[in-house]
Amino acid sequence: MDFYKWIVDKILQALDSRTKVSVLVHEAYFTGDNTPYYFVKVANLSPETEFTVTHIFVKDGSNEIDIINPQTPLPHTLTKTKMWETWFPKSLISDHNKIFENVYIVLTSGKTYKSRKNETVRPAGFIAK
* Radius of gyration, CA atoms only, the chain: 17
Q: Read off the pLDDT of residues 80-89 as tens digits, 9 standing for 90 and up.
A: 889 999 999 9
**CATH number of this structure's domain 19-117, picked from the four choices 2.60.98, 2.60.40, 3.30.2010, 2.40.50:** 2.60.40
Task: Count how many Cα atoms sit within 13 Å of the Cα of residue 25 in the half-sphere of its side chain.
Answer: 24
Mean pLDDT for the stretch of residues 4-26? 70
Mean pLDDT for the stretch of residues 102-115? 95
Closest CA to 78 of 121, 118, 21: 21
What ranges do the domains of the chain cover? 19-117
Q: Read off the pLDDT of residues 51-71 as tens digits, 9 standing for 90 and up.
A: 999 999 999 999 999 999 999
Backbone phi and psi for residue 72, each to the nearest 5 degrees, phi listed first: -135, 70
Question: Taking the complete model, does pTM exceed 0.85, yes or no?
Answer: no
Q: How far is CA 69 from CA 28, 85, 112, in A?
A: 16, 10, 19
Indicate the residue type of 17. Answer: S
